[in-house]
Amino acid sequence: MNKLRRGPPSLDAEKEAFEKNQMMSIQKAINAMECAAKEKHVRS
């Protein structure tokens, strides 16, 4: 791929970026390392 190309990203590049972000989000959501929420993130 030519990274020096100017202009809007191609549909393939956009799709690849979307899929990568989706995979990262899914991996974070089903992370095996469970821990309690930090106090600063919990409403009381």
What CA–CA distance (Å, rounded) separates 35 from 9?
A: 38
- This prediction's pTM: 0.51
Tokens of 14: 């956009």
Print the SS3 string covering 5-37: CCCCCCHHHHHHHHHHHHHHHHHHHCCCCCCCC
Q: Give residues with Cβ within 8 angstroms of 13, minimum separation 6.
A: 1
**Percent with pLDDT over 90 in the chain:** 23
Supply the pLDDT for residue 34. 72
Residue at 3: amino acid letter: K
- Please tell me the predicted confidence (pLDDT) of residue 41: 79
Quick one: pLDDT at residue 25? Answer: 87
**pLDDT at 1 exceeding the cut of 60:** no
